[in-house]
Structure 1
Amino acid sequence: MFSSLFSSAPAVDPHAPNFLPVSSLFTCDELYGELDETDTEWKCASGFVTETQIWYTILEDGSSVMCQVIHSSIGVWYPTIQFTFKVFNPKTGEKTWRSVNVSNFVTPPPDLDKRSSKADEFTITHADAPGTDYPELYTITANLTPDVKISLEVRRPTAAPGFKVGKGPDGGYSYFGPDAAQPEGYVVHRFWPLTRTSGEITVNGKPLAVDGPGMFVHAIQGMRPNLVASRWNFAHFQSPAHGGVSAVQMEFTTTSAYGRKGAGSGYVSVNVGGLVIGGKLATVTAETKWPDEAQPEKAALVSRAQHVGGAHDPETGYPQPSGLVYRWAAPSVLSDAPGTVEGTLTLDVGSPSEPKGLIEKVDVLAEIPTVVKAVVNYVAGTKPYIYQWINPAKLVLKGPDLILPGLAGGLEVEGFSYNEATFISE
């Protein structure tokens, strides 16, 4: 404390920008950042850092499967590591949800790199298979509880490489604070926008065959989560049509403390995403929504999540949307198919009393470990909630015919969409 009182460092202008969004740091032709092997390695940083890897899969009947590892560093305490698993069948309403604090977490395991990890309860192994149709894969095995066993293989197709927004080591990063070289915090995302999962899950002795498309994301929040964002939106659409179509999007909105005019100028939305068409990564999108600027309806670069409606939900206290609209537009990343690629996904998710496709309203404070909860100071009376939905959906696409015949005239692709809307604070 005393060192700060007598610091000789120059004073920071209180109205200077203290948030640098990744969506504003790169030009259109720099948005597609190729992943190298270090991008998806576990960092396991100290301080207040939440790091996660999530594998999503959608089955032919619309069932949703999620496997997630969360590494939470909380200052001087020993990190807490959770394995979270959820499978939901929208036709039957049957849901299995497990969240286990694991023991003896290690990365890398012997003879592997830090893209792999293990604990007493699970083993996740990354492997390369160069020269094949699926050059990278994860093998996930887990015995989370006596009644849940997981054995899955998640493969990434050659034509749908992983990506981050922006090339080079700074790709993917949004920085908090006035100095990006010494940030107060950061957020970073890396994606595999299309995967193929196969294997089996056993719940209460009953096997479930798993075979379907999905996606993988590696994300890090390098700051206390209540300071990073007030809202999150997430979507992934999957369809086997046309050789594989995928649409992914992640958006967060800062708290009031971080914006381009210092504290009080926040509520900046950062949106990143990508489209896979015909089994090929077609475009990468990113856009910043500043609270004091209207976004034009038409733009060369569009990456947006919109809530439609907003009925008060007495269970959570938040305005639950009745509809969700996601939009993508950016130049093609395919050198042999230049032009603009566009996508629109419109969903009806119902109301608090009559929801459509609602998996769950996750009470975040009830799920995070007690030691993490103790150092995350949410505003008194607020409870963070995550709404999760899965619904049949139509993705409307437009782009060069060289990507997919008929695309220039517009195509409607039927599939399923998994969506999340997270409310952290008002």
Structure 2
Amino acid sequence: MLRWIQGGISAVTGIAEPEYGSDYIHSVADRVKGKQPYRETSRKDLHWLAPDHTNVETATFYFTNLESGILGFAQIIHSNVIGIHTQAQFTFRVYDARVDNEDLNLWTSTKLENFRIDGPNFYADNLSVELDQDNRTYHLKSSVNEKSRVDLTFTRLTPGCKVGDDPSTYYGDNIGEPWGRMRHVFWPRNKVTGKMDLKVPVKQQEPEGVSGERVPQNTEQQAREQPKRKTDEDGDNGGDQPAEDEEAEEEEEELEDLHIEFTDESLTLSMFVMAFQGMKPHHAAKAWNFLYYHSKDHSLSLMEFITPKSYANTKVSVGIITSKDEVLGISLNNDFRHLNSSVDSVGWNVPKDLSVKLNAIRRTVPDEKIAAAVSAPTNSPAEKEKYNKDTQLNAVVEGKLHRLVERIDVMNEIPSFVKSIVSGVAGTKPYIYQYADEFTLQLQDASKEKGLAWAEVTFISEGETITDESYDEA
């Protein structure tokens, strides 16, 4: 009972948590051991949860055009802090992964007004996200920000998917009354059509080097050290105000119109994920890894988080592999490796390369076959090899992180009301590193294929332990 009270209080106030151990986290992977993890999503799975306690809920529509290299995402964020302050935000990113990132790297973040939820649909002034009655197509339309007016339709090419009947990881000693919860549902491969009308900075004349060659406007090192962003004036940048000269400079920035259209003739692919985090982010996880990859023939996505030591540094990892029109398998046994890492100016050990390995269970394997293998006595090498061939699907996605789209200081982005709750946590230093690069996929023993990947590496808490001394509740 005492631990339940401690957990409940910390989930509301943000104070330090005791070291509960692995018995106090119930991962989605543990609940499907010995079973087929794949389940197809229903319409109800796509409903916004919107409980009356602290949580953040997101619907994120990623898009990738393999021919042009244009990729990015449109995202709705709905948050509730301590049950007394609810707000919503529309964030948008578009980036060209095949040219210097000075040419197209647009970010907008806009506070939504008069927002409301209706099942799987979301509405606000000048914004709507609607799921059709066939549960096959989302239509997203937004004119909340003049820099990023979008009208996009996302149509499933494969079934939606989730892990098990309830795709949630629970925190606490009682799943029926958890202290916190993480949940994810996916549409792993979709087609995108529609248009984006953008306002982007006018391209400046590029300087000539001594040899006459083009001089890059933004080297990798410069990108890593770029200044903090200022959110749009109708958003909330946490109360941080730019200096007057910065404000004047931004006002004088010359913009030009850019129209981008996605048509059936040039296939644009998408991954959609609906995520729910029902507890303080620094209690739920100390780090996140995320990657989605599209090629002409396959899509792969992986989302994982690692809990703080208070929950035994537990890794919860969900990977999905698809063909053009089918979910091939779900993997809960993944290895997301950071390679050739070095400490940057912020202090995080940031990778320069990624290698992601998935060991998926094929979607068509029944529960009985999986359960029999788990409960069977030690099998012979031949039996194990046959079982693995019949039931498993292995994939490796690898690539170099050449293009840092942005390093995001999360504390500079979140609203001031939320920021006040976690700003006193000395051990918390959340940064998100976003990359867009060409990666390779090797599926089973097939030849490697090239595609485009979006990767995010997120660091939240320093070290393995956040002690009581790390928190300043004054």
Q: Please list, as runs of the form range in 1=range in 2, the aligned pairs for 1:122-271 lying within 5 A after superposition.
A: 122-129=127-134, 136-157=136-157, 160-166=158-164, 168=165, 171-204=166-199, 205-211=257-263, 212-241=268-297, 245-258=298-311, 266-271=312-317
Deviation at 1:224, TM superposition (A): 1.1
Secondary structure in 2 aligned to 1:203?
A: strand
Q: Determine if the alignment matches structure 1 residue 305 to structure 2 residue 336.
A: yes
| CA shift digits 1:178-207 (9 cap, x unpaired) | 221211101011011101111110112321
Report the AA paired with residue 310 of structure 1: S
Aligned residue identity for 1:84: T
**Which has the larger Rg?**
2
Give the residue type in structure 1 aligned to 2:270: G
8 A contact 1:72–1:372 mirrored in 2: no
Q: Does 1:92 align with 2:100?
A: yes
CA distance in 2 between counterparts of 1:13 and 1:390 reads 37
User: In the TM superposition, what are the counterparts of 1:313-328 in structure 2 within 5 Å?
Assistant: 313-314=344-345, 316-328=346-358
Cα pair 2:303 2:319 within 8 Å, conserved: yes
Match of 1:375, as an amino acid?
A: I
Compared with structure 1, are the counterparts of its residues 360 and 128 closer, same or farther at alpha carbon in structure 2 (3 Å cutoff)?
same
SS in 2 for 1:223: coil
Provide the rounded CA distance (Å) in 2 between the counterparts of 1:14 and 1:388. 32
Pick the structure with more strand per residue: 1
* Cα distance in 1 between the residues matched to 2:391 and 2:29: 20
Q: Structure 1 pair 65/16, CA: closer, same or farther in 2 (3 Å)? A: closer
Which residue identity lines up with residue 165 of structure 1 in the other structure?
Answer: V
Alignment of 1:274-423 (within 5 A): 274-286=320-332, 302-314=333-345, 316-334=346-364, 338-349=390-401, 356-377=402-423, 379-380=425-426, 382-398=428-444, 409-423=445-459
Distance 1:178 1:326, change over 3 A: same
* Percentage identity across paired residues of the two chains: 27
Contact 2:397/2:441 (CA < 8 Å) preserved in 1? yes
Which deviates more, 227-236 or 141-150? 141-150
TM-score computed with the length of structure 1 as normaliser: 0.80
Per the normalisation by structure 2, the TM-score is 0.73
Q: Do the aligned partners of 1:246 and 1:275 also contact (CA within 8 Å) in 2? A: yes
> What is the CA–CA distance in structure 2 between the aligned matches of 1:274 and 1:118, rounded to whole Å?
30
* Contact 1:28-1:330 at 8 Å conserved across structures: no
Cα deviation digits, residues 86-141 of structure 1 (max 9, x gap) = 00112131211001110011111xxxxx1111100311111034xxxxx6111111
Q: 1:239 to 1:376 in 2, by over 3 A?
A: same
Q: Residue 145 of structure 1: SS of its match in structure 2? A: coil
Which among 43, 47, 50 is matched to residue 44 of structure 1?
50
The CA distance in 2 between the partners of 1:377 and 1:185, in whole Å, is: 20
Contact 2:108 2:147 in 1 (8 A): no
Q: C-alpha displacement at 1:417, in angstroms?
A: 0.7
Matched residue type, 2:287: R
**How far, CA to CA, are the matches of 1:75 and 1:322 in structure 2?**
38
Deviation by residue 1:138-185 (Cα, 9 ceiling, x = unmatched):
11110122232101000102xx2111111x2xx211111122121110
Instruction: Verify the 8 A CA contact 1:254 1:268 in the aligned structure 2.
Output: yes
- Report what 1:8 is aligned to: none
Q: 1:29 deviation in Å?
A: 3.1
Letter in 2 for 1:248: S
Between the two structures, name the one with larger relative contact order (CA 8 Å, sep ≥ 6).
Answer: 2
Partner of 1:291: none
Give 1 or 2: higher helix fraction.
2
CA contact (8 A) 1:226 1:377 kept: no
For the aligned residues, what is the CA RMSD?
A: 2.3
Taking structure 1 as reference, are residues 192 and 14 closer, same or farther at Cα in structure 2, changes over 3 Å only?
Answer: closer
State the shift of 1:384 in Å: 0.8
Q: Is the CA contact (8 Å cut-off) linking 2:427 and 2:461 kept in structure 1? A: no
Unaligned runs of 5+ in 1: 6-11, 109-113, 130-134, 259-265, 287-301, 350-355, 399-408
Secondary structure, aligned partner of 2:29: helix
Q: Cα gap change, 1:4/1:65 in structure 2, threshold over 3 Å: closer, same or farther? A: closer
Residue-by-residue CA offset, 1:295-327 (whole Å, 9 max, x unaligned): xxxxxxx3221111320101x210001211111
1:16: Cα distance to partner?
A: 7.0
* Residues 13, 366 of structure 1: alpha-carbon distance in 2 compared, 3 angstrom cutoff: closer
Shift of 1:377: 4.8
